Amino acid sequence: MFVRYFLFFIFIHSLSVVADTETMQVYKWTDNSGITHLSEFPPEGKNNNFNVEKIQVSIPVSEPAKQQNNNERMAHIKKYIEDREIARKLQVKTANTAKTNKKNCELARKNLALYQSGQRIRTRVNDTSEVQILSEQERIKRIKRSEKNIQSYCGNSE
């Protein structure tokens, strides 16, 4: 009889330990630069080549929700929702910045190739002026500017 109660107690105790944890879904992926990301949201874009893993993370609960009053719980929930929205916006902004940098990198490389080709380049000083041929000094300035743009937008991907 004692053994039954003892086993029942162990079973109930193990359930309470499991009940004191929560799980959270996390996405893990490595981008083209070799950086590993962990996020609550999958990476942006449908055509990405990332190997995305879904991971369930256990989070221990320090205080049972029953001990908090409703106002505290609602404030906690609102803060959690706001934090998730901020994290989502930051992830979207980071993805958009990466796309813009990629486009600017390609444009800077094309410009550098054009300026280094030695071809005569026609340009306008402003909309109302005549077409002028780019001088050698201006070509050198633009080559340097294009190299700086490549360093800025392309980073270490050269």
pLDDT band of 88, cuts 50, 70, 90: confident
Please report, to the nearest 10 degrees, the dihedral formed by the alpha carbons of residues 113, 114, 115, 116 taken in order.
50
C-alpha 101: how far from chain center? 14
pLDDT digits (tens, 9 = 90+) for 94-147: 888 888 889 999 999 999 999 999 888 888 777 777 888 888 898 999 999 999
Q: Can you give the pLDDT at residue 6?
A: 66
8 A C-beta contact, residue 62 and residue 75: no
Identify which of 85, 101, 88 has the alpha carbon closest to the alpha carbon of residue 32: 101
Q: Can you give the pLDDT at residue 63?
A: 56
8 A C-beta contact, residue 28 and residue 53: yes
d(CA 26, CA 34): 19
Q: Can you give the pLDDT at residue 158?
A: 45
Q: Can you give the pLDDT at residue 155?
A: 78
Region of poorest pLDDT, from 64-68, 88-92, 121-125: 64-68
